[in-house]
Amino acid sequence: MQPVPSPDAIERFLADLAGNSGIEAVSEAKRHRLRRVPADTVAITEGEDIVAVAIAAPHRQGDGSDIWELETAVRPDMQFAAFEETVLRAGLASVPKGLPVTVWSTRTSSSEALVDLGFAAQRTLAYMVVDLPLPSDRTGPEDVRGFTCADVEALVAINAKAFANHREAAAMDADEFQTLAQEPWFSPEGIVVAPAEGPLSGFCWTKIHDNGDGEIYRIAVDPEVHGHGLGRRLTLAGFAHLASVPGVARGTLWVDLANTIAVELYERIGMVIDRTNREYART
């Protein structure tokens, strides 16, 4: 019997995939799950080599119940539907019986396997990109300021209100913020808040990837002030900060395609869709 790969070995496998493709193999939430509850991660090996990983994690919904989300990562030469199905079955088996589960897929081979398993796409996230710096005819940042430690409580509250219908993002509390603040990529200078004076109404949190891409990791505006252009100002402020960092030449972000107002905003500043990530649920 092959020994179970260690969390460190699994993290190296995921890092290698990301390094080769420029795309994170699984989301940050699933990497945190690997560190906190490594026994729940499924790793498939070929000899001593890891060839696939499946990580499931629970997310709290608005009604207080949990829904599980599964993500898989597969070595490029093994990305065909039959093997993807094997990985998916192993991952689904790790979810407690009787609880709802959805699966995220960025690969055609995985999507084909999910359809064969009786799943259907129900939500699509788009990864949008733009060259930095933005053209000089774009309106620059205004009425924004840098983040301070005193802003954490307000930032978390705005995040909860803005993402009330998005279980992955809405769950962030002060403890999770502090956990994220320990990540190697975290920089307090990478967070812009608004307005410059008075109670916070929104924030733009950026992240720089190892490949040099600058991502708007999370952007949120208090629903009570929607319609006043704050989202646009924060987006431009975030990209202006990223463009000021040496070596960052491309801006990126993820957006739910159902959020047409946000998609249209990003398209107006020059962003285009690079790829998608779909969430599948059992039919």
Q: Which token pair is 264?
A: 């249209």
Over the stretch 210-236, which tens digit does the pLDDT of each residue have? 889 999 999 999 999 888 889 999 999
pLDDT of res. 225: 84
Please give the average per-residue pLDDT across 22-27, as a whole number: 86
d(CA 115, CA 48): 31
Give me the amino acid identity at 252. Answer: T
Q: Which pLDDT band holds residue 3 (cuts at 50, 70, 90)? A: low
Q: How many CB atoms lie within 10 A of CB 99?
A: 12
pLDDT of res. 130: 97
pLDDT score of 140 more than 70: no
pLDDT score of 118 more than 60: yes
pLDDT score of 269 more than 80: yes
pLDDT of res. 168: 73
Q: Say if pTM beats, i.e. exceeds, 0.75.
A: yes
- Give residues with Cβ within 8 angstroms of 261, minimum separation 6: none
pLDDT score of 58 more than 80: yes
pLDDT of res. 1: 39
pLDDT score of 105 more than 70: yes
d(CA 187, CA 67): 31
d(CA 191, CA 214): 13
In terms of residues, how long is the chain? 283
pLDDT of res. 258: 93
Please give the average per-residue pLDDT across 100-104, as a whole number: 95
Peptide bond into 195 cis (omega under 30): yes
* Domains, the chain, with CATH or none: 7-117 (3.40.630.30), 129-277 (3.40.630.30)
